[in-house]
Structure 1
């Protein structure tokens, strides 16, 4: 009976130790970077769309793995050839004026679309965490 209790205590101790280790690992791997919302907007006409353009990205902070920029939830018929792979490094706003360096972009071809507002998501992923920010495509007759 003592052997069963001892084995149960050892198993419980090992489980508690593993839980603590995993909780510490999760906190340590939290992203130290951020995809900034640059409030990007684009206007295109319904009949022509835009055959080749891009949205830009500002990833700030520091990261130790490649951050891949992309787009999802594209308007119908629109495509993206992909975006920048941002190498490990860092990017911080200028302390004097707050200016942020653009360090990524993603290409998009916007198909002719019915008039309306479309909101795809600009994405940044380090393979563990994915962050998104909306971009706006306004489709209307006059973009002046």
Structure 2
């Protein structure tokens, strides 16, 4: 057998043996993704926004319940409600849900909050900027 045939034979064996193998790094990788869609909101410092929503841009497949929420919010702001997503999938362009927050009156500034999602093993977060101004 010539060198070219040996190389082709070795490549074919490698392809056949490796075809069913799953890389170790991929085994722990999530099959869902929380996407950054550039969410921003402006609120006034004297009023805030008691009925604000930030979107949950979740895509992919998940076999465990996913909980959602927000963190790093302006002082006094609270999460009013956030969805819990049962095992399932989402591959469409529309948004799967939103986190309802009550933004309290707060000092002027830019607050770099985050929308997060977790399946209990993996937690992903994306930015949600809240710009508190005297006037928007």
Q: TM-score, structure 2 length as denominator?
A: 0.77
Does structure 1 residue 46 correspond to structure 2 residue 39? Answer: no
Q: Which whole-Å CA distance do the structure 1 matches of 2:135 and 2:76 have between them?
A: 21
Counterparts of residues 54-69 of structure 1 (less than 5 Å)? 54-69=53-68
Gaps of at least 5 residues in structure 2 are 1-22
Q: Which whole-Å CA distance do the structure 1 matches of 2:86 and 2:98 have between them?
A: 13
Q: CA deviation at 1:141?
A: 2.1
Given that 1:69 and 1:82 are in contact with CA atoms closer than 8 Å, whether structure 2 keeps it comes out as no
Tell me the equivalent position of 2:113: 120
Given that 2:109 and 2:131 are in contact with CA atoms closer than 8 Å, whether structure 1 keeps it comes out as yes
Tell me the equivalent position of 1:76: 75
Tell me the equivalent position of 1:142: 135
Given that 2:77 and 2:102 are in contact with CA atoms closer than 8 Å, whether structure 1 keeps it comes out as yes
The one-character-per-residue Cα deviations of 1:86-123 (angstroms, maximum 9, x if unpaired) are 12111124xxxxxx220121111111111111111100
Q: Which whole-Å CA distance do the structure 1 matches of 2:65 and 2:57 have between them?
A: 14
Q: Which whole-Å CA distance do the structure 2 matches of 1:142 and 1:81 have between them?
A: 25
Q: CA deviation at 1:27?
A: 4.2
Q: TM-score, structure 1 length as denominator?
A: 0.73
How large is the RMSD of aligned CA atoms in angstroms? Answer: 1.6
Q: CA deviation at 1:82?
A: 3.4
Q: Which whole-Å CA distance do the structure 2 matches of 1:82 and 1:73 have between them?
A: 16
Size of the alignment, in residue pairs? 114
